[in-house]
Amino acid sequence: MWAKKLIKWYHKNKRDLPWRKNPHPYNIWLSEIILQQTTVSLGTPYYLKFIKKYPTIFDLSKASENEVLKIWQGLGYYTRAVNLLITARYISKYRNGIFPDKIDDLKKLKGIGDYTASAIASISYKVPTSVVDGNVYRLISRFFGLFTPINSLKAYKEFKKRADNLMINYDPSDFNQAMMEFGSIQCKSKNPICKNCIFIKDCYAFNNKCIDSLPVKNKLKKIKTRYFNYIIVQDLNGNFIINQRTRKDIWNKLYQFPLIESDENLELESLVSNKFLFELYSGELKNLKKINSKPIIHRLSHQKINITFWKLNVLKLTDYGIKVKNLKNFPVPIILEKFFNSKANFES
């Protein structure tokens, strides 16, 4: 009865989302990967850009890594974009563009875990398995009064078992999308719409006045503070240096200006004495100057980054210099994209 009421609400209130018009596995996979770390309102434009440029998985499989990263730019968690391309190439080459219809086989694909596998299997293939995301955690914990921290090891199995039991005898696609939709637009994280909720009479959180306490979440790890000094090296011909981040860290695979990471915000005297800069530009460091007087604060989920841009004019760069007009072709962190968009930053 609970699921029947939920699905009835869904058919009446569901949003007109582009991937729902054709629940092909490619569309569902792409939408779920994009939406893993963002909202529907922010993620939908990215989905539409991908579908426009790569309407099929065969089209996506032919893209370069830089092209995919460029479209993904701003979504964060860039490993997901790399995995997207790896899986597209595998499905195109070895499975003739057809996604597996079994959860275990889907989970063997790069970047697909139980959540995404369950979404593809249930929505595209009607496999009776529940999808558990943040919306589902919130709805179930509030209605049933479950206080298991949702970021604990045992939470996923506990909530998935509960959702699986609620789904029995109902259409898996409708049920899962109804759960996610209800949590997204009705049982919201902040300011849930309780006054006209279909579950208000039996909702544990509402009747026990603990809506804001559920779901329970263990405290996250401490925020790490970092200090980035980007060196914008420009020669007389208007060439710049950029390089690719290649180690396991934030913004892996993206491009950036030469970076010096420090233990604190640096002043000019400290930066001039840096070994890396001195070895490369010892005779030209007198031209080094700070662009932004105060560090720009860029916040990530577990990091606070203090960013200072420095300008260094030199006579001539080697043949790997990049023209300013070509910088926009490279996938970069969003903070650098904003920097690129300001012409004043490139004036000598």
The residues carrying an active-site annotation are 32
Element holding 140 (H helix, E strand): helix 134-144
| Residue at token pair 């539409």 | 48
φ and ψ of 344, to 5 deg: -60, -30
Rounded Cα gap, residues 273 and 282, in angstroms: 9
Rounded Cα gap, residues 77 and 68, in angstroms: 13
Three-state secondary structure readout of 240-282: ECCEECCCCCCCCCCEECCEEEECCCCCHHHHHCCHHHHHHHC
**Whether the bond into 295 is cis, omega within 30 of 0:** no
Q: At what angle do helices 172-185 and 114-125 cross, to 10 degrees?
A: 120
* Nearest CA among 136, 90, 139, 138 for reference residue 114: 136
Rounded Cα gap, residues 123 and 131, in angstroms: 10
Q: Is 209 helix (H, G, I), strand (E, B) or coil?
A: coil
| Residue at token pair 């604060």 | 297
Rounded Cα gap, residues 124 and 28, in angstroms: 7
